[in-house]
Amino acid sequence: MRTRALAAICGALGLSAISAVPALADPRLDEIVYSPYVENRMLEFETRIGQEVGGGDLKGAQTLVNELEYGVNDRLSLALVTAVERAPGEPQRLTSVGVEGIYYVGQIPKVGIDVGVYLEVAKGTGGEPDGGEAKLLLAKTEGRFQGLLNVIVERPFNGPREERFASYGYAASATWRTVGNLRLGIEAFGDLGDDHGFLNSPQGAYVGPQLKWEGRPSGAPFEIAIDAGWLAAVGPDRREAASQARINVELERRF
């Protein structure tokens, strides 16, 4: 039974890489706000879609990311990741296949902030460069409240020399548990600059309401987690699109 479930998830991951719906343009369109926590022996299949909505240079751009992740122990998880993009006016294409890892470091004494690190290495396809991404993952949970902050750095490994520089950004959320497993709050994704200028000019962002829910449907062999948001463009990003729609769905089962 476990073998069949794993085979089905792997098949879905592979199929999405071949026939997936489009993607990307805004470099943060494929992001989610990660927590630093790892669940031991938890197998997760995650699919997320982000799309630019409304008028702008990136109108209609979309990204689809799939991840197959497994919690090796209480501190380390590893995942296989595929990304498919559709820029405005271009056909859909697979742009990268990579591996990622999340490591839970621990909690900072007295302040109660949990810390983790995220590393990803991706092989570019369809003319895209290979690249790497690192994130500092921070979390603060108190009562019904949870705040998450990711500080992001990413860099291509090859391609034209003038394009081989690091860029910086962030992803953040603040949510409150309301009824049952439903959490409501706000999330934001934005840029901090790059090696040519860090915070030396106005930076854009997308900010808006967030909804999160997780639970096990009656009779289902797995849990479902849903994370959805509709974010408005702020600052220079208003030239790209008026807003973004994002949804992330996870199927989880412990083995």
| Phi, psi dihedrals of residue 202, rounded to the nearest 5° | -55, 135
Q: What is the pLDDT of residue 91?
A: 85
Tell me how far apart the alpha carbons of residues 43 and 34 are, in angstroms, rounded to a whole number: 16
Q: What is the mean pLDDT of the chain?
A: 89
Name the strand (E) or helix (H) holding 13: helix 2-19
Q: Is the pLDDT of residue 21 over 50?
A: no
**What pLDDT was estimated at residue 26?**
57
* Confidence at residue 188, expressed as pLDDT on a 0 to 100 scale: 97
CATH number at residue 244: 2.40.160.40
The 8-class DSSP code of residue 31 comes to -
100 vs 162, more confident: 100
Q: Do residues 56 and 240 touch, judged by C-beta distance below 8 A?
A: yes
Q: Is the per-residue pLDDT at 240 higher than 60?
A: yes
DSSP 8-state class, residue 28: T
| pLDDT at res. 4 | 47
Q: How confident is the model at residue 200 (pLDDT cuts 50, 70, 90)?
A: confident
* Span 105-122, average pLDDT: 97
**pLDDT score, position 27:** 57
Number of structural domains in the chain? 1
Predicted pLDDT at 197: 84
> Residue 240 carries which DSSP code?
T
DSSP 145: E
| pLDDT value of position 199 | 81
Domain residues for 199?
2-254
Quote the CA–CA distance of 177 and 183 in Å, as a whole number: 4
Count of CB atoms situated within 10 Å of the CB of 248: 19
Instruction: Show Cβ contacts of residue 211 under 8 Å, excluding neighbours closer than 6 positions.
Output: 182, 183, 184, 226, 227, 228, 229
Higher-confidence position of 13 and 52: 52
Assess whether pLDDT exceeds 90 at residue 51. Answer: yes
